[in-house]
Amino acid sequence: MNWQRLWLGFLLPLTVSCRAVGPGEKEAAVDYLLQYGYLQKPLEGPDNFRPEDVIEALRAFQEASELPVSGQLDDATSARMRQPRCGLEDPFNQKTLKYLLLGHWRKKHLTFRILNLPSTLPSSTARAALLQAFQYWSNVAPLTFREVKAGWADIRLSFHGRHSLYCSNSFDGPGRVLAHADIPELGSVHFDEDELWTEGTYRGVNLRIIAAHEIGHALGLGHSRYTQALMAPVYAGYRPYFKLHPDDVAGIQALYGKKSPEIEEEEEEEDTALPTIPLVPTEPSPMPDPCSSDLDAVMLGPRGKTYAFKGNYVWTVTDSGLGPLFQVSALWEGLPGNLDAAVYSPRTQWIHFFKGDKVWRYINFKMSPGFPKKLNRVGPNLDAALYWPINKKVFLFKGSGYWQWDELATTDFSRYPKPTKGLFTGVPDQPSAAMSWRDGRVYFFKGKQYWRLNQQLRAEKGFPRDIAHNWMHCRPPNTTASDGDTDSSVTGTDHAATG
């Protein structure tokens, strides 16, 4: 791993109980910090981690793990990193120690389907454990869960090994990552088939507790910094008299309210009538074909997911292919389709959507109070928007010009718009979409093609390329997967964000 060697030689000496730490142990620690969100992973090219970045990441991990905060890779820190855990990242609530909310379902009566069961438990025991996992949450919040045996379900539970055609997150064999899940309203919950799943014993991994944790993610909860909470990222082992931690209860009730003694029949009917994610078009707008459509907007969203927008629909793009198409309003309530532009800022955690003369702001999937607002200082009907990580500014594009916006400071827009090609060399006018990566690479889209710019903001040789083949992983007729190169660099880390 070249990017690791760049900083390992310069890192301040790390010791474990007065012994030197080998390069392998250092690399394993950095892999862990990258995988679980304590260090930001680059997408392309060499990476120069500063020693203070790694030390700060170690300190953050130690603080979250309730270990002595030293910034050094000591025995306790190494042991903590080796413990089995959830595959989701640890974007802890940095302001308080309370629960973290990542999204929510817009209804309280959910269906679930158990697609298969582990081989290490009798089917009746495994099924009872999974049903009990749902009940932990329905006992403290006004949620109901109904099992379906066939067809679509809101939450889908399955077991698979290291690789699966239906999951872009690979498992790592026994130990380490036990399971992972998607946040609302996606609904996938996956368990590592290679684990020794058990019930009622200290041996192996308790299915009931891990399932309850992953269902918590599927309901919208992030990881908790309370090490005894169910939503803590590291598996604490079998607990015969397990019950939810107060932080777990407070988090789920912040999303869905407190459990009422009785649910009135009218309220139940009203909840049931709330819309679910439609998988077939119910609006006049036709469902787009990602392999033939141009794009309205593209966004590198929260936690590294790439979202592509067309008409009333949105889908995710990963290096293993495309996610299902959802209606835009099903993920971001209150947001219209046919967007002009979309941009996510890691600096502020804000997502801004633009359409006509209005702008919408969301944090994850929740709209900020006071939005939508009217665009007053930039022109309406923007073409594209992107966040540039080099200067931490948002760029808005229209026609042949751009505006540069500092989200946290008063911006003088009287000097704008400026000519796009004066800063971004070799890009087309009136782009249909734009986005950037944390390493400084920038992408512009127009029609069926896209351009990639280097850190000097110049279009690279060999571009433009075909969006369908190189981005959407669509195969041209009568070709095989080896025909041409796909630009896996643009989606290489997306799958890590699905949890």
CATH number assigned to the domain comprising residue 144: 3.40.390.10
- Write the pLDDT tens digit of every residue in 264-315: 333 333 333 323 333 333 344 578 888 888 899 999 988 778 899 999 888 8
Question: Average pLDDT in the 381-402 region?
Answer: 90
Question: Average pLDDT in the 426-440 region?
Answer: 85
Q: What does the alpha-carbon distance between residue 118 and residue 148 come to, in Å, rounded to a whole number?
A: 19
How would you classify residue 45: left for phi > 0, otherwise alpha for psi between -120 and 50, otherwise beta? left
- Write the pLDDT tens digit of every residue in 160-212: 887 665 655 678 778 788 998 988 888 889 999 999 999 988 889 999 999 99
Catalytic residues: 214
Please indicate, yes or no, whether residues 76 and 202 belong to a single structural domain of this protein: no
Please indicate, yes or no, whether residues 32 and 122 belong to a single structural domain of this protein: no
- Enumerate the known binding-site residues for Ca(2+): 154, 172-173, 192, 195, 296, 340, 342, 385
- Write the pLDDT tens digit of every residue in 441-478: 899 999 989 999 988 888 888 888 888 887 887 766 54
Residues in the chain: 499
Please indicate, yes or no, whether residues 31 and 121 belong to a single structural domain of this protein: no
Virtual torsion, Cα 374, 380, 383, 388, nearest 10 deg: -50
The pLDDT of residue 303 is: 76
Q: What are phi and psi of 195, to 5 degrees?
A: -80, 155
Specify if 291 maps to a domain: no
Please indicate, yes or no, whether residues 308 and 407 belong to a single structural domain of this protein: yes
pTM greater than 0.75: no
Please indicate, yes or no, whether residues 347 and 476 belong to a single structural domain of this protein: yes
Q: What does the alpha-carbon distance between residue 453 and residue 465 come to, in Å, rounded to a whole number?
A: 12
Specify if 96 maps to a domain: no
Specify if 100 maps to a domain: no
Please indicate, yes or no, whether residues 408 and 362 belong to a single structural domain of this protein: yes
The total domain count for the chain is 3
- Boundary (domain end) residue, out of 82, 97, 123: 82
Please indicate, yes or no, whether residues 236 and 336 belong to a single structural domain of this protein: no
Q: What does the alpha-carbon distance between residue 198 and residue 208 come to, in Å, rounded to a whole number?
A: 9
End-to-end CA distance of the chain: 24
- Enumerate the known binding-site residues: 86, 154, 172-173, 180, 190, 192, 195, 213, 217, 223, 231, 296, 340, 342, 385
- Enumerate the known binding-site residues for Zn(2+): 86, 180, 190, 213, 217, 223, 231
The pLDDT of residue 177 is: 87
Q: Which domain holds residue 61?
A: 2-82
Please indicate, yes or no, whether residues 346 and 466 belong to a single structural domain of this protein: yes
